[in-house]
Amino acid sequence: MPELPEVETFARGLNLRLKGKRILDVLLFREKNIIGNPDEFKETLKGKKILRVSRRGKYLIFSLSEGYSFLSHLRMEGRWKKLPFDCPIDKHRILSMALDDNSRLDYVDTRKFGTLELKRNKDVFSTPPLSLLGPEPLDVDFETFKERIQTENKPVKEVLMDQTILAGIGNIYADESLYKAKIHPFEPAANLDDGELKTLYQAIRTILKLAISLRGSSVHSYVPTFETEPASMQERLLVYGRAHEPCEACGTPLTYTKLNGRGTTYCPICQKRKNAAFVLAITGPIHAGKSIAGLFLETQGFAHFDADMEVKKLYKQADIQRTMKEILGKKAIVKKQVNAPYLRDLFAKNPLKKKEWMDYLYPKLEEAYLSFYASNKNARGILLDVPLLLDSPFLNCPDAILLIDADIEARKQRLIDEGRDVENLMKINASYPLKQTKKIATFVIENNGGLDDFSNELNLLLRRIREAR
């Protein structure tokens, strides 16, 4: 979705080319994009002169003669095009205006989410949607900015993207501003002190001004239609769109997660949570060395949340066992014990049953984790050990992900040395999503050598985390 710099670029280009032009006729091809009466919208625009095109938040404002305006919100992929009158028609055209200079102005929207709304000039800023918007981030003074941000207890990125608090900032420039200010996107806004807020205020202004000067960020489908040069802010982005690439400052792979469904990229080292333990998720295929790494980190002051152990505790509870029998069948519990072979077979044959059970179990497990986190937030760190990390809601919890890997032969030999059932255990582990995990892991340790080599790697990792924090 175009944000403040992109919409500002559109507004300037449109204003330069449309100011003083008269609308001779209007053709409407899709009425659903019009808020209000489509016929009134179309008929009112005919004969009006375009006085100027400006921006408020993410809205374009077309100010017309005779006391009217209309608002345009581009949403995901909306775009205005001024074309020769006889130019071929775009199949995604929503609206077309014939202008008095033998050109036409088309609104094209591939996704068809954009909106157009007719307004009386006197009502443009005093009625929704514009009356609901917060101040412009480039116009607001610091004291007002501080007052609006600091009173919110939600994650600061969520606050920055709330259009009623500040108008115009979206996913791209929220990520970039927080990275420049070295503030964690999940940090509650109310936790930020005056110094941090001042840094964030300046970061937002610097980045937005730079983005406007570079005609916005050409990501997804945005193109600055009226500019002779392409958008180039995307070449300056330090975190957005760079998930798992090295941080420009410290070299740590950037973390990608989601906040209220929106992709969020940040550096787990440079953007620290305040008064919170560093959460390191640990994952890896069977017998790669995850248990040894966990024991080592425990000795270094990390509190260890072991999801497998927590599940075993939950499975001993009578109410959990009752629900398990209801969802998975009476054979799931035998003599007040979980029937593990039955569950493995059921889940392998019926993935929907597995999902139904996980949908019930995960909230219980999350509740246990949140309680654990609250009790250990002053620890040196928290080790989050969830075997199926990629398939769990815990993927959004860690500051960083540590993948312990080892080649297949090394893992097999370790199982042989311990007298374990190599064939079955390796078969079970064959479904481990190693390629996908490598793509999202912050740190990867290849444990193919001896114990001393592995210990050295773990010590280097720990030193890196400590020095940066």
Q: Which amino acid is at 147?
A: E
278-304 residues labelled b (16+ CB within 10 A) or e (exposed): bbbbbbbbbbbbbebbbebbeeeebbb
Contacts of residue 376, Cβ cutoff 8 Å, sequence gap at least 6: 277, 303, 382
Task: Spell out the long-range contacts of 226-234 with Cβ–Cβ below 8 A and sequence spacing 24 or more.
Answer: 226/10, 226/13, 226/14, 226/16, 226/17, 226/82, 227/9, 227/13, 231/6, 231/9, 233/5
Of the candidates 440, 91, 48, 432, the one whose C-alpha atom is nearest the C-alpha of residue 268 is 440
The active-site residue out of 21, 52, 262, 364 is 262
Per the annotation, the verdict on 66 as an active-site residue is no
Burial class, 29, CB count within 10 angstroms (exposed 0-12 / middle 13-18 / buried 19+): middle
Residues sharing a CB contact under 8 Å with residue 73, sequence separation 6 or more, in sequence order? 58, 59, 60, 114, 115, 129
- Whether 58 is catalytic: yes
**From the candidates 2, 185, 253, 268, which is the catalytic residue?**
2
DSSP state of 122: G
Question: What is the C-alpha to C-alpha distance for residues 424 and 419, in angstroms, rounded to an integer?
Answer: 13
Of 3, 77, 158, 187, which one is the catalytic site residue?
3
For residue 95, count other CB atoms closer than 10 A to its CB.
Answer: 25
Which of 279, 307, 266, 296 is closest to 401 using CA atoms? Answer: 279
Q: Is 262 a catalytic residue?
A: yes
Distance between CA atoms of residues 315 and 322, nearest Å: 10
Terminus-to-terminus CA distance in the chain, angstroms?
34
Instruction: Name the residue among 240, 215, 71, 61 with its Cα closest to residue 161.
Output: 240
The encoded tokens of residue 199 equal: 């840094």
The dihedral built from the CA positions of residue 48, 51, 54 and 56, taken in this order, carries a sign that is: negative
State yes or no: is 3 an active-site residue: yes
At which residue do the structure tokens 């730079």 appear?
A: 210
- Listing DSSP states for 174-230 in one string gives HHHHHHHHT--TTSBGGG--HHHHHHHHHHHHHHHHHHHHTT----TT---TT-SS-
Output phi, psi for 268, to 5 deg. Answer: -70, -15
Name residue 73's beta-bridge partners. 59, 115
- Among 48, 56, 58, 79, which one carries the catalytic annotation? 58
Alpha helices in 339-440 (DSSP H): 340-349, 351-375, 408-417, 422-429, 434-440
What residue type is 118 in one-letter code? Answer: L
Active site residues: 2-3, 58, 262
